[in-house]
Amino acid sequence: MSLTILPTRTYNSLRPTRSERGFVMIEMMLAVGILGTAMLAVVMSFSTASKTAAFIDDSATAEWVSTSQMELVRAAIFVPTPGTYSVVTAPTGFVVSNATSAIAGGDANIQIVTVTVTKDGATVFEASTVKVKR
Please give the Cα distance from 13 to 41 (Å, whole number).
Answer: 42
Residue 7 has pLDDT above 70, yes or no: no
Please give the Cα distance from 131 to 113 (Å, whole number).
Answer: 7
| Domains of the chain by start residue, with CATH | 22-132 (3.30.1300)
Radius of gyration of the chain (CA): 35
Strands 122-132, 94-102: pairing kind:
unpaired
Confidence of residue 59 (pLDDT cuts 50, 70, 90): very high
Taking the CB of residue 116, how many other CB atoms lie within 10 A of it? 18
pLDDT digits (tens, 9 = 90+) for 97-124: 999 999 888 788 999 999 999 999 999 9
Residue 6 has pLDDT above 70, yes or no: no
The confidence score (pLDDT) of residue 108 equals 87
Q: What is the pTM of this model?
A: 0.69
Average pLDDT over residues 1-11: 66
- Sequence-distant contacts of 87-93: CB under 8 A, at least 24 apart: 90/65, 90/117, 91/61, 91/65, 93/119, 93/120
On whether the CB atoms of residues 106 and 133 are closer than 8 A, the answer is: no
Residue 54 has pLDDT above 70, yes or no: yes
